[in-house]
Structure 1
């Protein structure tokens, strides 16, 4: 059986990922890191930011569109695990930064990629800790 929600999600995320990558590349080519950020720079920097917001919205929409409550539960569990992983990493690293001058700073830019990696951890938790089989086409 084909999961229509997963197919829609995949199409949305492919478009969002393309906008995100294009925004990062364009901003990196145009914006001079040493110069003050003008209106053009702000606008270009907001393109990948808007794509991140769209990705979060697409994930929420995917969960809402899933017709199967078991698959929906697996996705929600992945999101909860990803949020916990992100909070743990950023909070612990932030405390280490607070009390050490020798550690490199973690740019806020990395919070969303850490959360996305946490979705993978959540999928592993579903599969191995709870025996969940998310073969319904879920991302």
Structure 2
């Protein structure tokens, strides 16, 4: 990613959100493992690790809005399209396999993991197609 002002903001946001995610996940795992939380508090603690991940989706959206370089914005849009297609296709395939009892259950939050992997696939596709050669 080029070092535009929007890209720097996106990178800073993403780093902070990753740190928040790690802290929230470690805290939630610890709290549940040691039975520190129960009742409504358990619901809140269980949701905390999801919030930074949602924040990353928001950060990507903000990057797309803030990026003034149309070409860089287009590359990121292509990557998000790859990510969305990859994650939704994999989730749909797995859902049908699971519905027919051919595979075990996978927690739905792994769709986000697939989506982030799809961003990487989109980046590779850009590089292989020469779309980022102008950078």
- TM-score, with structure 1 as normaliser: 0.87
Q: Equivalents in 1 of 2:134, 2:60: separation in Å? A: 17
Tell me: higher relative CO, structure 1 or 2? Use CA pairs within 8 A at least 6 residues apart. 1
Distance 1:28 1:134, change over 3 A: farther
Distance 1:86 1:134, change over 3 A: farther
Report how far residue 134 of structure 1 moved: 7.2
Q: Mapping of 1:1-139 within 5 angstroms?
A: 2-32=3-33, 38-100=39-101, 103-128=103-128, 130-133=129-132
Q: Gaps spanning 5+ residues in structure 1: where?
A: none
- TM-score, with structure 2 as normaliser: 0.89
What is the number of equivalent residue pairs in this alignment?
133
Q: Deviations over 1:25-59 (max 9, x none)?
A: 0000001499x952221111221111111111000
* RMSD of aligned Cα (Å): 2.2
| Runs (4+) off by over 6 Å | none
Q: Equivalents in 2 of 1:49, 1:23: separation in Å? A: 9
Q: Gaps spanning 5+ residues in structure 2: where?
A: none
